[in-house]
Structure formats: C-alpha cells, structure tokens
Amino acid sequence: MIALTRMRLHGFVRTGRAVAPLIAALAVLSILYGGGQAETVEAYGVSALVAFPVLAWQTKILLDVEPDVQRRLARVTLGSAAREIAAGLLAAATAGLGTIAVALAVPWVFGGVKGDASGVKGDAVSILIGLAVHLLALGPAVALGALSSRAVTRTAGMGAAVLVTGSVLAIVLGLQGSPAPWLVPPLMAATRLTTSGGTTRTALTLIAHATLWTAAAAFAYARLRRNRA
C-alpha cells in the first residue's frame, strides 16, 4: 500500500498536476494577506477556510491522475479494495500537508500577520494553533475531493458540481444560526473560534465533529468506489 501511495504522489508531481492547486493556493492567500496585517491566529483561521476548496480540488486532481484501468490493476495487485482506496486517500492527505505548509508560511513572507507581543514563544503557539485549524480542514477536504473524483462521479461536469456544491454548502450551512450545521464540516465554527475565542470544550467538539464528518464521507466514498469499480 505504501508503494502505491508513493506511486500516486509521484504521478501527481511528475505530470505537473500539482502546480495548479499550488498556484491557486498562493494566489488566494496573497490576496487574503494583501490587505494589511492581522492577528496570527485570526489570519490562520480564515486561511484554513479559504484553503478548504483548494485542498479538495487538489485531492480530486490527484485521484484523477491515475487511469481507470491502472486503478483496477492496483486493486487486483493489492488484493484488497480497502487498501487501494486507503492508498489514494493517504496520498491525497500527504499532498495536502505540503499545501498546508505553504499556507502557514505565506503570511510571514507577505507580512500579513502581526508578531505576538510575547515574542518567539507566542509566535510558536500561534503557528501550532494555525496548524491545528488547517489540519481540521484537511480531513473533510480530502473526503470531499474523493467524492468528486472521476472514479465516483464518472464525468468531469458532475465532479465539478460535487466539488463546488460541497464547498459552498460548507460555508452556507456553517454560518451562525444555520438550521443544520452538523451536515457540513465545522469550518466556519473553527474560523469563529480563532477570531472570537472559545473554550477547550468547544475546540474538542469541533475536532470530534470534523472527525465524524470525515469518517462518514470517507465511508460513503469507499462504498461508492466498491459499487462502481
């Protein structure tokens, strides 16, 4: 499974398909931080929200690189549909970590954040919180990107529709006062937590929500892949 994960990452990078989402992330984040400085934690909260559709799109591109026949051969070689599916999700998550690293570095390069008044220690804590918020978005983004991949949707148009609809609903249903915020990953809630503050209990609730949503979406992806193999 590790070999298949490496092969998919290699194909993603070697074919140049990794460039488009990276450029998109840089462009969006450059615009975000071009308007002036913000508190580090607050900036990272918004950054994670903005990075969500980019991470989902990146996942879709990575999973779509492999031809259908090669994907079926990989399943036969591994002898397990679950392992083949897991290899794809693992490759997408690994690629997403690279994009998150860029998202964490960009605000410092562009001077878009204020250094913490307490010095290096405060900055380190802010970066760790920023990393946690981006990781909170990574799982749901990978799951959404997988659900929009060609292996599930079959057509480019349907894949784009799933990707865009999922990204929009994550924002609309995540707004404060939404009747069904549990239907989408807690991206907006995480952003509010970084801008307005909150308790440890709230943070743990968001982590549990994101984990359960990711697990449910990944399960749906696995079932669809099995049925449409």
Per-residue pLDDT tens digits for 143-193? 999 999 998 998 989 999 999 999 999 999 999 888 889 999 999 999 999
- Checking if the pLDDT of 63 tops 90, the result is yes
Residue at 76: amino acid letter: V
Per-residue pLDDT tens digits for 86-113? 989 999 999 999 999 999 998 888 887 8
What is this structure's pTM?
0.92
The four Cα atoms 122, 127, 131, 133 give a dihedral, to 10 degrees, of 60
For 71-174, list the strands marked E by DSSP.
113-114
| CB 132 within 8 Å of CB 44 | no
